Amino acid sequence: MADALKIGIAGLGTVGSSLVRILGERANELARTCGRPITITAVSARDKSRDRGVDLSAIQWFDSAVEMANTADIDVFVELMGGAEGAADQSVRAALSRGLHVVTANKALLARCGVELAVMAEEKGALLNYEAAVAGGIPVIKALRESLTGNTVSRVYGIMNGTCNYILTRMEKEGLSFEACLKEAQHLGYAEADPTFDIEGNDTAHKLAILTTLAFGTQIAADEIYLEGISNISIEDIQAAADLGYRIKLLGVALRTDTGIEQRVHPTMVPHDSVIAQVDGVTNAVAIESDILGELLMVGPGAGGNATASAVLGDIADIAKSRPGAQRVPVLGNPASTLAPYTQAQMQSHEGGYFIRLTVLDRAGVFADVATRMADNGISLESIVQRAKGSETDSKTIILVTHATTEQSVRQAVDAIKSGTYLAGEPQVIRIERPKAF
Amino acid sequence: MADALKIGIAGLGTVGSSLVRILGERANELARTCGRPITITAVSARDKSRDRGVDLSAIQWFDSAVEMANTADIDVFVELMGGAEGAADQSVRAALSRGLHVVTANKALLARCGVELAVMAEEKGALLNYEAAVAGGIPVIKALRESLTGNTVSRVYGIMNGTCNYILTRMEKEGLSFEACLKEAQHLGYAEADPTFDIEGNDTAHKLAILTTLAFGTQIAADEIYLEGISNISIEDIQAAADLGYRIKLLGVALRTDTGIEQRVHPTMVPHDSVIAQVDGVTNAVAIESDILGELLMVGPGAGGNATASAVLGDIADIAKSRPGAQRVPVLGNPASTLAPYTQAQMQSHEGGYFIRLTVLDRAGVFADVATRMADNGISLESIVQRAKGSETDSKTIILVTHATTEQSVRQAVDAIKSGTYLAGEPQVIRIERPKAF
């Protein structure tokens, strides 16, 4: 049997502790499958005294991840600290500079400077694996980076934030408000005390930026993602969506258009009978549409210590199975030096169907005016429904679902409607996304 | 750039011709991604004169695949002929004997002698890749063989035959009979003129046998799979399933039990709100339940020239990205010499819920007798419904859904019911399978 693969783990939170435990418990099976033992020779974390439920006494301890990356006797540096800057960034660079392989779960770091890191890794002939960075245990990086080699991807999209999907699912199933479901998610540990990063879509955007570069061979452009969170989705939207045969999900979507790459994160209506519509709770799902394979959808756990540790372990095992320096998998699917500049498609040019919900005063002529504004902007309607809002109010709800049109047309039509005097609330606009095959 | 990877393709049907075309059209992109060109230097097929829509004039032609495997100047032998024996078998063995890497889409060959071939490959340090052999374009082999390394799998199951899923979907959506939908599938090219191999479950069984060995580290045992096809599923079953909140799918299921591995292929009721229940038409889906990752479901095209060619191309690209002899991915997930003997769990011990549909004469006491037979065998019921069959007959339908029980109990109860005098038709028994997480 070949020499052991020596790994150093920086960060011993939930994922890091799970990984240490699993590498200990499964040492024999892993050595058999990989053709050599995998040995933890170094670890690093902030607090040495904390009890993590795993025995670290035989492993060299570093207070500093950077020092570990610079000096430890390791083949692979496993970064599980998180954070786009600081120690995570410095230690990964230090490890790559030494020619060490790197495995990381750090989406923020990759979204910020993944191309730079890829260049470093490829110059040194090192592997940089990051399956856990997007959609937890779902092997979407491997699918895009390896399985789909030779395919031209047209669209990649998915449910990549468990917190948002949990909240939207509970709102639909229990008829509860956004605020009530958020509190519940916080109570269950599915949402942070400050949930902004999840519910406003930033977390999804980091993951989407990584998928975009893998799918389209362009530079990473996390800052050029159109972003809308779920905090203004109401129970009325969810019920109206259900009535019309749709469900609302927070999707990250990237697609190639004639004018550039469209990257967006927003609440999205998906047809009720599509497979992705059925993905509930904290579960994640990612779909990839490509020209040779067709459509591929993967569903699984997007977070959690074990699921994330499983993805990290798969990345480590891939390194263990190859002889040192023998693999040439480009970090971002294509060699980092060949990535094309990112050209952003304008959001105004986005084409698709739209759901529009208007709260209007109960007056003659309103319905006709709304329909006219749509027609004026060349928008044809799949359906238009008017409903009373209940006896105690004199307002009504008008719900429109459009056929494919442009963002610009919809914004102009809505602005025209807002210039009238009959609106009794802010219009709600939700984009519709249709899976191609299922 | 490194030397070209030289491949020989045996078999130029739909998949082979697609592959030749794609390798030509995408040569530059593939060379960039893989770090070296991929060049077809040899091909083999039965009829040299047939027009396949691709230019083969610059490629060495072999009338015999075995001769090509034995003598051509190639690094990778790509077997796309099919068939468990004969030329496919002989040529793959010849290629592996020479230490060539092999890529194949041949499920029948692997189900019959995959372990032997794996031993040969591993002795020579050659790779044997076969992503296309199971569920077409869905990267389930890669997920089990690579991503899930270190996980203990508890169950793997899926919709792996597009013909059956198409027929069952059409029966449900259109209310048509099995025979009518089969004819339609044949007309559309989704079913063979002799559809036996698909509709009786043999095709699914071959795929399941391969997944079982990957999931559980046991020898391949394709002959020890419990098999029931879909030809006796009636529109009544499908409608009753829908009323009770289920859909009927032909599933291949393998799971680890206390007494051995359970492998079975049969029509199965899955809960209507599960994700896999939503997988319609010719689309395939495979679910894997494991202890660290949790549940993973992959959905995509299970057949077709392009989807299959995409999987074959991914396998070739994996070889192109690694230096010769540098990869140690065990062919069947675990080194072939360490695979455990296969121990078959007895079907009688199978545990799960059951759907039972009885056509009975409209007599007093029948309903009570049926309920008593169930109770006598320790079967508790989730629901029991009695329905008139329409005014022109004096028979009724009784539909039972059981809580978890054993195959033996159900067979004994049904035998007891058959020993009565009130049955007006053969009882229908369909097993229920419940996804764990979604």
Per-residue pLDDT of B306-353, as tens digits, reads: 999 999 999 999 999 987 656 678 999 999 999 999 999 999 999 999
Q: How confident is the model at residue A404 (pLDDT cuts 50, 70, 90)?
A: very high
Percentage of chain A beyond pLDDT 70 is 98
Q: What is the mean pLDDT of residues A325-345?
A: 90
CB contact, 8 Å: A335 with chain B? Answer: yes
H or E segment to which residue A246 belongs = strand A246-257
CB contact, 8 Å: B22 with chain A? Answer: yes
Contact between B292 and A321 using a beta-carbon 8 Å cutoff: no
Q: Find chain A residues with C-beta within 8 A of B139's C-beta.
A: 139, 142-143, 146-147, 296
User: Among B256, B204, B270, B261, which residue's Cα sits nearest to residue B430?
Assistant: B270
What average pLDDT does chain B have? 95
CB contact, 8 Å: B1 with chain A? Answer: no
Check pLDDT > 70 for residue A327: no
Is B207 a residue of the active site? yes
Residue with tokens 């499958």: A33
Contact between A292 and B309 using a beta-carbon 8 Å cutoff: yes
Residue A296 or residue B394, greater confidence: A296
pLDDT at position B2, please?
Answer: 80
Q: How many CB atoms lie within 10 A of CB A392?
A: 5
- Which amino acid type is present at position B82? G
Contact between A139 and B296 using a beta-carbon 8 Å cutoff: yes
The closest CB to that of A322, out of B278, B295, B326, belongs to: B326
Contact between A299 and B323 using a beta-carbon 8 Å cutoff: no
Fold of A147-301: Dihydrodipicolinate Reductase; domain 2 (3.30.360)
Contact between B34 and A306 using a beta-carbon 8 Å cutoff: no
Contact between B300 and A296 using a beta-carbon 8 Å cutoff: yes
Half-sphere exposure of A312 (CA within 13 A, CB side): 33
CATH 3.30.70.3000 fits domain A5-137+305-338: no
Name the A residues in 142-171 with CB < 8 Å from any B CB. 142-143, 146-151
Q: Find chain B residues with C-beta within 8 A of A33's C-beta.
A: 149-150, 330, 333-335
Can you count the helices (H) and strands (E) in chain A? Answer: 14, 17
Q: What is the mean pLDDT of residues B289-294?
A: 97
For chain B, the C-alpha Rg in angstroms (whole number) is: 24
Residue with tokens 């990869």: B327
**Nearest CA of chain A to the CA of B139: how many Å?**
7
Q: Pick the catalytic residue from A6, A124, A183, A207.
A: A207
pLDDT at position A18, please?
Answer: 96
Q: Find chain A residues with C-beta within 8 A of B103's C-beta.
A: none
Q: What is the mean pLDDT of residues A117-128?
A: 96
Check pLDDT > 70 for residue A313: yes
Using the Cα atoms of residue A177, residue A178, residue A181 and residue A186 in order, give the sign of their dihedral.
negative
The CATH code of domain B349-432 reads: 3.30.70.260
pLDDT at position B324, please?
Answer: 63
Domain boundaries, chain B: 5-137+305-338, 142-301, 349-432
Residues A173, A402: Cα–Cα separation, whole Å: 26
User: Among B279, B272, B316, B315, which residue's Cα sits nearest to residue B298?
Assistant: B279
Residues A311, A84: Cα–Cα separation, whole Å: 20
Q: B371: buried, middle or exposed (CB in 10 Å: 19+, 13-18, 0-12)?
A: middle
What 3-state DSSP class applies to A81?
coil
Residues B280, B278: Cα–Cα separation, whole Å: 6
The closest CB to that of B327, out of A311, A322, A334, belongs to: A322
The closest CB to that of B296, out of A137, A274, A278, belongs to: A137
State the Cα angle at A147 between A142 and A153, rounded to 5°: 95
Q: A344: buried, middle or exposed (CB in 10 Å: 19+, 13-18, 0-12)?
A: middle
Q: Pick the catalytic residue from B183, B207, B418, B436.
A: B207
Contact between B294 and A317 using a beta-carbon 8 Å cutoff: no
- Give yes or no for a contact between B147 and B153, defined as CB atoms under 8 angstroms apart: no
CB contact, 8 Å: A135 with chain B? Answer: no
User: Among A321, A327, A328, A325, which residue's Cα sits nearest to residue A1?
Assistant: A321
Q: What is the mean pLDDT of residues B85-95?
A: 97
Q: How confident is the model at residue A329 (pLDDT cuts 50, 70, 90)?
A: confident
Check pLDDT > 80 for residue B389: no
Residues B366, B120: Cα–Cα separation, whole Å: 61
Question: Has A53 been labeled as part of a binding site?
Answer: no
Question: Which residues neighbour A175 within 8 Å (Cβ) at sequence distance 6 or greater?
Answer: A235, A239
pLDDT tens for each residue of B134-155? 999 999 999 999 999 999 999 9
Half-sphere exposure of B405 (CA within 13 A, CB side): 26
pLDDT at position A401, please?
Answer: 96
What 3-state DSSP class applies to A338?
helix
pLDDT tens for each residue of B195-237? 999 999 999 999 999 999 999 999 999 999 999 999 999 999 9
As beta bridge partners, residue A101 has A76
Angle between helices B14-25 and B305-321 (to 10 degrees): 50
Check pLDDT > 70 for residue B392: no
Name the A residues in 23-52 with CB < 8 Å from any B CB. 26, 29-30, 32-35
User: Measuring CA to CA, how many Å separate B72 from each of B64, B117, B120, B133?
Assistant: 11, 20, 19, 24
Q: What is the mean pLDDT of residues B65-87?
A: 97
State the Cα angle at B184 between B179 and B189, rounded to 5°: 125
Contact between A313 and B149 using a beta-carbon 8 Å cutoff: yes
Contact between B296 and A32 using a beta-carbon 8 Å cutoff: no
Beta-carbon pairs below 8 A across chains A and B: 214
Check pLDDT > 90 for residue A1: no
- Give yes or no for a contact between B220 and B208, defined as CB atoms under 8 angstroms apart: no
pLDDT at position B388, please?
Answer: 78
Query: What are the structure tokens assigned to B17, written together?
Result: 């011709």
User: Measuring CA to CA, how many Å separate B122 from each of A14, A326, B6, B115, B149?
Assistant: 37, 18, 21, 10, 18
Residues A286, A155: Cα–Cα separation, whole Å: 11
CB contact, 8 Å: B232 with chain A? Answer: no
**Nearest CA of chain B to the CA of A298: how many Å?**
4
The closest CB to that of B297, out of A294, A300, A318, belongs to: A300
Chain B interface disruption, residue of A1, A19, A147, most B CBs within 10 A: A147
H or E segment to which residue A266 belongs = strand A260-271
B142-301 CATH, one of 3.30.360.10, 3.40.50.12780, 3.40.50.10800, 3.40.50.300:
3.30.360.10
**Nearest CA of chain A to the CA of B434: how many Å?**
15
Query: What are the structure tokens assigned to B319, written together?
Result: 């070889």
CB contact, 8 Å: B275 with chain A? Answer: yes
CB-based burial, A113-141: b 16+ in 10 Å, e otherwise:
bbbebbbbbbebebbbbbbbbbbbbbbbb
Residues A78, B436: Cα–Cα separation, whole Å: 31
Residues B292, B289: Cα–Cα separation, whole Å: 9
The closest CB to that of B321, out of A297, A313, A329, belongs to: A329
Q: How confident is the model at residue B104 (pLDDT cuts 50, 70, 90)?
A: very high
What 3-state DSSP class applies to A285?
strand
Contact between A314 and B148 using a beta-carbon 8 Å cutoff: yes
Q: What is the mean pLDDT of residues A194-207?
A: 97
pLDDT at position A238, please?
Answer: 96
Query: Which value does ipTM take for this structure?
Result: 0.96
pLDDT at position B82, please?
Answer: 95
Contact between A150 and B438 using a beta-carbon 8 Å cutoff: no
pLDDT at position B390, please?
Answer: 65
